[in-house]
Amino acid sequence: MASDMHNRIEYIIGSDRLSISAFECQIGVGRNSISTSLRKKSSISHEVIKKIHIYFPNYSVDWIIFGNENETEVVIKKLSVELLGIFKRWKNENDKNF
C-alpha cells in the first residue's frame, strides 16, 4: 500500500480513476497545486487534506496523513464505494427504461 502521504493521495486519484486535474477540480483547489506537490513531494496544507477527506470520506484523515489504517479497511471502504456507484448506475439505467 502507499508508503507516504503523496503516494496515498496518488492512490486515491488512481482508485477513483481521475486525472490529477479532475481531482484538483473536484476538491476545489487551484490548477496544478496537487500536481506540483506530488511531483516535487512538497508539503500539502491541512486545508487540502481536509478537502480531500470531505470529497473522499472513505479515506480517513489519519490514513491520508499517516497511513494509520490497515490495508484491509481501506480496500473494504473502496469496494463499498464502488458497489454503491454500480448500484446507482444500475438504478439510473432502470429509471430510464420506465
Give residue-wise pLDDT tens across range 39-83.
899 889 999 999 999 999 888 888 899 888 766 777 787 788 889
For 50, the domain range is 5-96
Is the entire prediction scored with pTM above 0.85?
Answer: no
- Cβ neighbours of residue 68 under 8 Å, at least 6 residues apart? 62
In CATH, what number is assigned to the domain containing residue 78?
A: 1.10.260
Given this model, what pLDDT does residue 98 score? 63
Joined together, the cell numbers standing for residue 59 give 479515506
Q: How many domains does the chain have?
A: 1
4 Rama class: left (phi>0) / alpha (psi -120 to 50) / beta: beta
